[in-house]
Structure 1
Amino acid sequence: MNFKNYIVFGLVLIGIYTNAQQVVTTEEAVELTLEYNYGIKITNNTVEVAENNTSILNSGYLPTLTGNAGAIHNIDNTEAEFSNGETTILTGAESDRYNASLNLNYILFDGLGRKYNYKRLKEQHQLSKLEARETIETTIVQLFSIYYTVARLSENTNALEETIMISMDRLTRAGYQFDYGQSTKLDVLNAEVDINNDSINLINIRQQLKNTKRDLNVVMGNQLSEGFDVNTDVSFLLQLNKNELLEKTKANNVSLLQSEKNITISQFGLKENRATQFFPAISLTGSYGWNKNNNNAASFVAVSTNTGLSGGLNLSWNLFDGGTTITRIRNAKIDLEIQKLLKEQLLIDIERNFNNAWDDYQNKLVIFQVQENNIKTSQNNFDRTQEKFKIGQVTSIEFRLAQLNLLNAELSRNQAKYDAKLAELDVLQLSGELLNVQL
């Protein structure tokens, strides 16, 4: 393949992705994720289940009403002797019994057990909301991690395309110089080797970009076609204050809030067990019944029908159940103590994680700034080397080295930019502010 063929090949490589594509902003990506991400949909359904559990229909405060009905048909062989001495023998005597009733039961007092159970269900509903929020925050961080990976690969692709254009220009120049006897075949071969390497790198990174776009689309519920780009502009929330964020972390961190809810739930569980042990339960019962008997000929009454109301109060008191309830109370106390210890441990861990995340964020901002400055130096060095290369004052090897230095500086700058942004997201997630700021 001569250098003209390399030019055509390179132009084809570069021209594959020149068509304009839909640009998905971070705001649009977040909206699609919140609406279509399957993990978020599932956790929203879990919250709905927890909300249903807090309904009055699941509280134990409503009465129960049951209906019963039955019918019995008997065929008997009966020998009956009456008080006057007469005897009757019946073979295949038939009789019927019918009954129907409505039964009402209402707990008037259960030692406040249902009260604490209802409050516990309310707290579990709030806990499920916090768990949903945690899922959303984790998914948003995952979204941005992939989104910025797409952005970084997109910028790296552009840098490699510029590199291959420079390599093709160098190959063209080397070819003309060889044709006119101004250089050796070695310069052409070196240029061909370099353009081959650049082409391979470009092919590989384009494949990585396609794969990562598919990953991003999955997070967004697969709502986009393959032909889309992302916004590569990044802004930082440089007005963040460490002390203010640390206080927000202690007050709003979702893991800490969940820990507090678990403590409250354990407290209500302890109270519920105590109520069961130390207080009686009083319930109101009532029923309305209808009974009809069709008796056989041996009975004094041929047909009898009864209807009536009945009502009463029932009291039950768990005076001693072999120690089962006492064991539950003791275990509930231990569970409460465990939840408190877990919160204390979590607070220490989160404060450490916040400080680590903050320092990491500050360091990566500095690294990004250094890489930005390095770009200027590398670009200036390349421009000067390119000018000297055109007039034959530097070798092709020196020119290639300056070209690679510029490319590596661009790749490092891109990496540093998105690393700093993701570090910022970690700080916001820990502080509970991730869903409260414009990203």
Structure 2
Amino acid sequence: MTFRFISRKSQTRQAVLLAAALLWAMPSGMAADLSLQEAIRMALSQNTGLKITQKGEDSAQAALNQARGSNALSVSASDSLTSSREKGSSRRDSNSVGLNASFPLYSGGKNQANIHKAELGVKAADLATERSREDLKLNVIKAYYDALEARKTVEVRQETVDKYQEHYTNVSQLYSAGSKARIDVIRSSVELSNAKQNLIKSQNSYEVDLAALRNYLNMDRAEPLSLTTDFSYDAFAIDMNDCIHYAWLHRKDLLQDQYKLEQQEQAVKAAKAGNLPSLKVNLGLDQSNTFHPSSSSGHGASAGVSLNWNLFDSGVTKAEIQAAQIEYDIARLNLLKDKEDVDLAVRQAYYNMREAEKRFNSTKDAVNQAEEDYYIAREKYRAGEGLMLDIIDAQEALSTARLNYISAQYDYARYKASVENAMGISLTPEEKQAAEQADMDTSSVLASSAVNREAGDTKAAARESMTQAGTAGMVSAGSAQTASASTTGEVAAELAGNGETK
């Protein structure tokens, strides 16, 4: 067995080797334990969509190199072979070799504006990647809690089926003894069938949610998972107005819009440079050789400064300036619109979080009361004093109370994560490490996966990808709620330092 990994530090090597050994030693039918924090790190290191977004950084850097090159020394070489013959003379064969260099002395500010624009493009691309990572983190959190809620829903539905099955058995026995009517047996059978239908739907929803989570993690789609991080209430103490103010300062997409606005400002400057002269220095070396009818050669050198000034171009430059100015106005309006959208996103997530929090607190006692009501209805029916409808209503109320409690819990967890995402809270240091490790490991992961696909071993390819790209960024951590509480505490501390926390 061969393990391949990126050499960094001794501790990292040991962690990768240990994690890889655990993955390979894991039986194929055994469910892998997965905490929320581990899921986030795996997604940041393995998600394919995120890797596509990161390619935008390479494109922006290439554009910057191109802009810088247009304002630097350029050298060109030329060679020509000529054969000519005039009437009354013999054929003449010759060739000419030249070497020319040029350097722009003044471009009216066009080259400098293009360079600055490209530099801003690099910064904007970096921010786009960071924002994509934050959005991916939110999607993983939602998918993880969706799967947890679906699993809890399956448990409630299964318990409902078991209780209806128990009740159906009891009613059938009472009917056989002659103490209950046939209609009670039929009604009990119908309710049992309906409960089984709900259970089947819940089981399917759970599998679908797990599939969505695996897709974000880019792992083996058939790998069994055991989600180990459950809901833990973590109060969110930051005022909504402070959240909005924080978002305006820290949202990566708003900062990206600001860079785009400055880019368009540089584009206007570059367009206006078309009304100004340009100055360039030129140096040249040339050598000519004649082969026929006689052999001769000569060489020379030249140097000069050229001035170019476009005095009239039928309004082309003016139109370019107008187009650049329009793009600047669009960028400015986009910045304003996105600030409005950020304000709305924070408010919606915040209100939804508070609503879920209230539901969570109000349904704490409802489950116990519904359980007591069901117990009373069941015992009264057994004693011959109750009705079938009482048991059905009590069971439906109990299932509804439990499902409402579960929904309120995970709604709060999801909306709390949405608020933090809308605020633009950055990744934790461990999450950034996983994302940075993915940048270095992308090439090796793709190559490794290709080899395994050719061998027809899909599961081995997924495990090796996890070993090289995911486990290198995984470190031991506490629960996801503890990390979330720490992040919220840091934001609150920052706001408190600015005198803004209420």
Deviation at 1:60, TM superposition (A): 1.9
Report sequence identity in percent. Answer: 18
Q: Which residue of 2 aligns with 1:196?
A: 193
- Within a 5 Å distance, the mapping from 1:367-378 to structure 2 comes to 367-378=359-370
Q: Which residue of 2 aligns with 1:286?
A: 283
Equivalent pair of 2:143/2:212 in contact (CA under 8 Å): yes
If the length of structure 2 is used for normalisation, what is the TM-score?
A: 0.73
Q: Which residue of 1 aligns with 2:252?
A: 254
Deviation at 1:35, TM superposition (A): 2.0
Q: Distance in 1 between matches of 2:415 and 2:142?
A: 10
- Within a 5 Å distance, the mapping from 1:101-140 to structure 2 comes to 101-140=98-137
Q: Distance in 1 between matches of 2:197 and 2:30?
A: 24
Task: Say yes or no: does 1:35 pair with 2:45.
Answer: yes
Q: Give the match's secondary structure for 2:314.
A: coil
Task: Say yes or no: does 1:50 pair with 2:60.
Answer: yes
| Greater C-alpha Rg | 1
* Residue 263 (structure 2) aligned to one of 258, 262, 265: 265
Moved more, 259-268 or 216-225: 216-225
Equivalent pair of 1:32/1:223 in contact (CA under 8 Å): no
Q: Distance in 1 between matches of 2:101 and 2:265?
A: 33
Deviation at 1:390, TM superposition (A): 4.3
Deviation at 1:173, TM superposition (A): 2.2
Equivalent pair of 1:104/1:286 in contact (CA under 8 Å): yes
Q: Distance in 2 between matches of 1:384 and 1:23?
A: 40
* Residue 69 (structure 1) aligned to one of 69, 79, 85: 79
Deviation at 1:412, TM superposition (A): 1.8
Q: Distance in 1 between matches of 2:204 and 2:349?
A: 32
Equivalent pair of 1:97/1:294 in contact (CA under 8 Å): yes
Residues 1:222 and 1:181: Cα distance change in structure 2 (over 3 Å): same
Q: Give the match's secondary structure for 1:111.
A: coil
Q: Distance in 2 between matches of 1:288 and 1:365?
A: 79
Equivalent pair of 2:285/2:301 in contact (CA under 8 Å): yes
Q: Distance in 1 between matches of 2:113 and 2:100?
A: 27
Gaps of 5+ in 1: 1-18, 81-92, 297-301
Partner letter of residue 51 of structure 1?
Answer: Q
Q: Which residue of 1 aligns with 2:207?
A: 210
Equivalent pair of 1:289/1:308 in contact (CA under 8 Å): yes
Deviation at 1:283, TM superposition (A): 1.1
- Within a 5 Å distance, the mapping from 1:93-242 to structure 2 comes to 93-230=90-227, 231-242=229-240
Matched residue pairs, number? 402
> Deviation digits for residues 244-286 of structure 1, max 9, x if unmatched?
31221121123322221122112111222223323x2111111
Equivalent pair of 2:215/2:221 in contact (CA under 8 Å): no
Q: Which residue of 2 aligns with 1:398?
A: 390
Q: Which residue of 2 aligns with 1:4?
A: none
Deviation at 1:168, TM superposition (A): 2.1
Aligned-residue RMSD, C-alpha: 2.6
Equivalent pair of 1:99/1:292 in contact (CA under 8 Å): yes
Equivalent pair of 2:231/2:413 in contact (CA under 8 Å): no
Partner letter of residue 162 of structure 1?
Answer: E
Q: Which residue of 2 aligns with 1:433?
A: 425
Q: Distance in 2 between matches of 1:150 and 1:23?
A: 14
Residues 1:259 and 1:39: Cα distance change in structure 2 (over 3 Å): same
Residues 1:336 and 1:95: Cα distance change in structure 2 (over 3 Å): closer
User: Which structure is higher in strand share?
Assistant: 1
Q: Distance in 2 between matches of 1:379 and 1:59?
A: 75
Q: Distance in 2 between matches of 1:204 and 1:40?
A: 32
Moved more, 339-348 or 44-53: 339-348
Deviation at 1:57, TM superposition (A): 7.2
Q: Which residue of 1 aligns with 2:464?
A: none
Gaps of 5+ in 2: 1-28, 429-479, 485-502
Task: Say yes or no: does 1:313 pair with 2:305.
Answer: yes
If the length of structure 1 is used for normalisation, what is the TM-score?
A: 0.83
Q: Distance in 1 between matches of 2:232 and 2:76?
A: 65
Deviation at 1:226, TM superposition (A): 4.3
User: Which structure is higher in helix share?
Assistant: 2
Q: Give the match's secondary structure for 1:79.
A: coil
Deviation at 1:78, TM superposition (A): 5.3
> Deviation digits for residues 164-186 of structure 1, max 9, x if unmatched?
12122222322333344443444
Q: Distance in 2 between matches of 1:183 and 1:20?
A: 47
Deviation at 1:329, TM superposition (A): 2.4
If asked which structure has higher relative contact order (CA below 8 Å, sep 6+), I would say 2
> Deviation digits for residues 341-367 of structure 1, max 9, x if unmatched?
443344344324423332222122101
* Residue 351 (structure 1) aligned to one of 343, 367, 376: 343
Task: Say yes or no: does 1:339 pair with 2:331.
Answer: yes
Q: Distance in 1 between matches of 2:103 and 2:333?
A: 40
Q: Give the match's secondary structure for 1:240.
A: coil
Deviation at 1:416, TM superposition (A): 2.0
Partner letter of residue 188 of structure 1?
Answer: V
Equivalent pair of 2:231/2:410 in contact (CA under 8 Å): no
